[in-house]
Chains A and B, each alone.
Chain A
Amino acid sequence: MALELLKERWSSAINVLKVGAVKEEGGTRASAITVGGQTTLPFLLDEGGMPHRPVVAMEIFDVAPLEWPVSLLEPFGDAVKDPVKWAKKCINEFKADLICLTLKGTHPEAENISADKAVELVKNMLKEISTPLIIIGSGDKEKDNDVLARCSQATKGENCLFGLAAQDNFKTLVASCMADDHCIIADSPIDINIAKQVNILITDMGFKPEKIAMHPSTAALGYGMEYVYSIMERSRLAAFVGDKMLAMPFIIFVGQEAWKVKEAAANVADEPGWGDERMRGPLWEAATAVAMLHAGADILVMRHPEAVATVKRSIDSMMKGNND
């Protein structure tokens, strides 16, 4: 007797999000990055499609993150002191699909780098690299509203992905991104209702839903990863049955969370039972990313080259046989 497997067929798809613009579209990128469009839960290619594979962005800073653990700084060498050099290394050597530039140094309590300087860096970055660009503020609301608005204006037509727009601070960024035709990241604090609410607030301003990526929060493996995992699954299931305000692709900031925890960062001298941190750290980041992939992540923002390479191989192996 032939066994008939129960296959799910969903009525709705995840939005297709395109970041970056090529010359014909008014930008200067060599090619754009497209994610989303799924009609199935992650990698169940027997019952639906994943027309665009998940991508990995590598995260770089405007100021050298000397507080990073040695095991994370090492692979970049001196390049961390020069954002453009750093970005190029990520693209050419480490095969990043795109670059995420976090303007950490603009924070008033950090280097308080001016908006002018940030604009200069972003423009220079776009001139020197050919991949699409994600641009993230420092987390200081007032400063971000100034810096990101200026960066948005200066990169008009490049279709960058800007973030973060949150429930209590979205208007300025949404207005800028809309005027300059960029994409935006809608941020929410591990709460599906707020995630939906932010998407509603943003689209209510006239912003196109297919230019939004959702950030449902990120948590490291062992530090609440499962909360994010379940929010993502719930959100996807709702989108598949027609909730348009949850149908945005996910962006997950894996590197930033994974490298905070001591399981990734601690020296083997401090935790002899845990093994070499040069192996452990990147794997902690990669394992966090893989769990997020299985929950539906579309854009992973990562840090360690070894973790990036591992996750890219993992994506390859999960997408293999897409058409068989």
Chain B
Amino acid sequence: MALSGLEIYKHLPKTNCKDCGFPTCLAFAMQLAAKKVSLDKCPHVSEEAKKVLEGASQPPIRLVTIGTGENKLELGNETVMFRHEERFYHPAGIGVLVEDTLDDNALKSRIDKINKLKFERVGREIKIDLIAVKNSSKSAAQFAKVIKAIVEKTKLNLILMSENVGNLKECIKVAKEKKPLLYCATKSNYQEMAQLAKEHSLPLAVHAENLEELADLTQKIVSLGVQDLVLDTGPKSPRKKICDLTYTRRMALKKTFRPLGYPTIVFTQSSEPNDEVCEAAGYVVKYAGIVITKGAEPWQLLPLLTVRSDIYTDPQKPVQVEPKVYEIGAVKKTSPVLVTTNFSITYFTVAGEVEASKIPAYVISCDAEGMSVLTAWAAEKFTAESIAKMLDTSGISGRISHKNVVIPGYVAVLSGKLEEESGWKVLVGPKEASGIPSYLRSMAS
């Protein structure tokens, strides 16, 4: 947290002995507040003061881990309200609900379906992270059986949900190696739940209907020795939910209010399949730590996971695609060749228009340090030389029977030089990608 210089000063010895290299304790405190020196430069600070001051340097939203190994899910430790201020760091965990009332066949087909929720797009795999197993049957034996089947058949992380602490206790041995999230501690059961979480070193979800009661409860649980908490304010309208998520994040970041300094979990309320995804998408963009849906259709999860990848993209870094030759459609040796930059939006816009034209073509993305065509051209990152080099080294010549290349209309001025440098015949394409389909069609005819 940001303690002020004066607040820090209160905890220093106030002897002005100068051993830290500063003339006074206050001067040292000011530098500490500005994060310009570290506390260990003062050899005289008491253990107690150290605790307070180091506690204050903990991240405002605790990093909580669910699961183990390479599949583990890390949540929290976010630093900003808006992604443009820095970035969002730990992508929201996305999971699907499984109730333990399913019979064997239904369970098997649900798990099979869930296991298929991984998608390859833009050269990256995106997939769900979690299964939330709900003890709707209220039977410990049934709960254990379903958890066991899930543990055996998936690598996904788990949330174990039961209102009955006894049932959780009994079933934990089936899944504790997977470090599941226990759901959930409430006003009435928190002592037992905290005990269970502590015994097995598991993260614990905490539920209360409003933020005030929630803050109260987390403080009690922390005092029992459990710190890896995930917050839930229960079912309410999506709008209220977004308010809860926003205020939780804001109180943690702007007020360093530790009782709410944890990641959050949300379960969708809508039952209509499209509505459910839209509701979940809202939670993903507005700060949710975990979002659990009932729907498990690929056409539901693909957009939801994509919303997450978009929002958690680092805004400082221009997103780039690998500079290389891309085949769009069933290309032949006579198919046209288009060049563009490796800025992902530029590339995908071009690729999308080529695809829409239904005329197969090669698109070569040139390394322009992730800039768009005009920006790269102005910065001399997209030049006759760099395009010529790409034509030469990308291996495109071996794949086609012609030597014609289409360049973006905005860099028409490069034509002459590029013809000289490369020996290719240069054709000037449209300025905007939206003109590509008609351009390609007229080329073909």
Supposing A44-B243, A234-B84, A275-B298 touch, asked if A223 and B349 sit within 8 A by C-beta, the answer is yes
- CB–CB A261/B352 < 8 A: yes
Determine how close the nearest CB of chain B comes to the CB of A254; give it in whole angstroms: 13
- CB–CB B315/A273 < 8 A: no
- CB–CB B438/A109 < 8 A: yes
Instruction: Check: A283 CB closer than 8 A to any chain B CB.
Output: yes
Contacts of B242 in A (CB 8 A): 43-44, 318
Contacts of A275 in B (CB 8 A): 297-300, 302
Bound form: Cα–Cα A284–B303 in Å: 6
Bound form: Cα–Cα A176–B285 in Å: 40
Instruction: Check: A230 CB closer than 8 A to any chain B CB.
Output: yes
Instruction: Check: B353 CB closer than 8 A to any chain A CB.
Output: yes
Interface string of A180-221 (1 = CB under 8 A from B): 000000000000000000000000000000000000000101
Most buried by A among B303, B355, B432, B438: B303
Bound form: Cα–Cα A92–B165 in Å: 54
- CB–CB B238/A274 < 8 A: no
- CB–CB A224/B282 < 8 A: no
- CB–CB A221/B303 < 8 A: yes
Residues A294-314 near B (CB distance < 8 A): 294-295, 306, 310-311, 313-314
- CB–CB A274/B356 < 8 A: no
Determine how close the nearest CB of chain B comes to the CB of A104; give it in whole angstroms: 10
Instruction: Check: B306 CB closer than 8 A to any chain A CB.
Output: yes
Additional pairs, 20, CB under 8 Å, beyond known A233-B82, A233-B83, A290-B282: A139-B434, A221-B307, A222-B306, A223-B348, A230-B84, A234-B82, A263-B303, A273-B298, A274-B302, A277-B299, A283-B303, A284-B302, A286-B277, A290-B281, A294-B285, A314-B279, A317-B238, A317-B279, A318-B238, A321-B239
Interface size class of B (residues with CB under 8 A): 35 or more
Contacts of B304 in A (CB 8 A): 287
Instruction: Check: B435 CB closer than 8 A to any chain A CB.
Output: yes
Give the total of A residues in contact with B, Cβ under 8 Å: 57
Residues B278-314 near A (CB distance < 8 A): 278-279, 281-282, 285-286, 297-300, 302-304, 306-307, 309-311, 313
Which of A224, A273, A284 makes the CB contact (< 8 A) with B348?
A: A224
Determine how close the nearest CB of chain B comes to the CB of A64; give it in whole angstroms: 16
Supposing A3-B211, A229-B285, A262-B355 touch, asked if A291 and B307 sit within 8 A by C-beta, the answer is yes
Contacts of B285 in A (CB 8 A): 229, 291, 294-295
Instruction: Check: A27 CB closer than 8 A to any chain B CB.
Output: no
Instruction: Check: B254 CB closer than 8 A to any chain A CB.
Output: yes
Determine how close the nearest CB of chain A comes to the CB of B439; give it in whole angstroms: 9
Determine how close the nearest CB of chain A comes to the CB of B152; give it in whole angstroms: 23
Contacts of A291 in B (CB 8 A): 281, 285, 307, 310-311
Which of B116, B274, B345 makes the CB contact (< 8 A) with A227?
A: B345
Instruction: Check: A260 CB closer than 8 A to any chain B CB.
Output: yes
Bound form: Cα–Cα A319–B277 in Å: 18
Most buried by B among A2, A226, A260, A294: A226
Instruction: Check: B136 CB closer than 8 A to any chain A CB.
Output: no
Contacts of B344 in A (CB 8 A): 224
> Which of B32-40, B244-252, B413-421 is near enough to bind chain A?
B244-252
Contacts of B243 in A (CB 8 A): 43-46
Bound form: Cα–Cα A223–B307 in Å: 10
Determine how close the nearest CB of chain B comes to the CB of A262; give it in whole angstroms: 6
Instruction: Check: A63 CB closer than 8 A to any chain B CB.
Output: no
Pairs A–B under 8 Å by Cβ, sample size 19: A6-B251, A222-B310, A223-B352, A229-B83, A233-B84, A262-B352, A263-B306, A279-B299, A280-B303, A290-B282, A293-B282, A294-B282, A311-B278, A313-B272, A313-B275, A317-B237, A318-B282, A319-B239, A321-B237
Residues B160-215 near A (CB distance < 8 A): 211-212, 215
Instruction: Check: B437 CB closer than 8 A to any chain A CB.
Output: yes
Contacts of B282 in A (CB 8 A): 290, 293-294, 314, 318
Instruction: Check: A5 CB closer than 8 A to any chain B CB.
Output: yes
Contacts of B352 in A (CB 8 A): 223, 260-262
- CB–CB B345/A226 < 8 A: no
Instruction: Check: B122 CB closer than 8 A to any chain A CB.
Output: yes
Instruction: Check: A320 CB closer than 8 A to any chain B CB.
Output: yes
Interface string of A1-18 (1 = CB under 8 A from B): 011011000000000000
Instruction: Check: A67 CB closer than 8 A to any chain B CB.
Output: yes
Interface string of A58-72 (1 = CB under 8 A from B): 000000000100000
Contacts of A317 in B (CB 8 A): 237-239, 270, 275, 279
Which of B84, B251, B356 makes the CB contact (< 8 A) with A5?
A: B251
Which of B215, B250, B278, B313 makes the CB contact (< 8 A) with A226?
A: B313
Bound form: Cα–Cα A234–B81 in Å: 12
Instruction: Check: A276 CB closer than 8 A to any chain B CB.
Output: yes
Contacts of B310 in A (CB 8 A): 221-222, 225-226, 229, 291
Contacts of A263 in B (CB 8 A): 121, 302-303, 306
Contacts of A226 in B (CB 8 A): 83, 310-311, 313, 315
- CB–CB A283/B277 < 8 A: yes
- CB–CB A320/B239 < 8 A: yes
Bound form: Cα–Cα A259–B122 in Å: 17
Residues A253-280 near B (CB distance < 8 A): 260-263, 265, 273-277, 279-280
Contacts of A276 in B (CB 8 A): 299
Instruction: Check: A237 CB closer than 8 A to any chain B CB.
Output: yes
- CB–CB B274/A286 < 8 A: yes
Bound form: Cα–Cα A45–B72 in Å: 36
Bound form: Cα–Cα A282–B344 in Å: 24
Instruction: Check: B240 CB closer than 8 A to any chain A CB.
Output: yes
Bound form: Cα–Cα A294–B254 in Å: 21
Residues B225-264 near A (CB distance < 8 A): 237-240, 242-243, 246-247, 250-251, 254-255
Contacts of A320 in B (CB 8 A): 237, 239
- CB–CB B211/A5 < 8 A: yes
Most buried by B among A3, A261, A265: A3
Bound form: Cα–Cα A186–B435 in Å: 22
Contacts of B250 in A (CB 8 A): 5-6
- CB–CB A279/B297 < 8 A: yes
- CB–CB B247/A294 < 8 A: no
Most buried by A among B254, B274, B315: B274
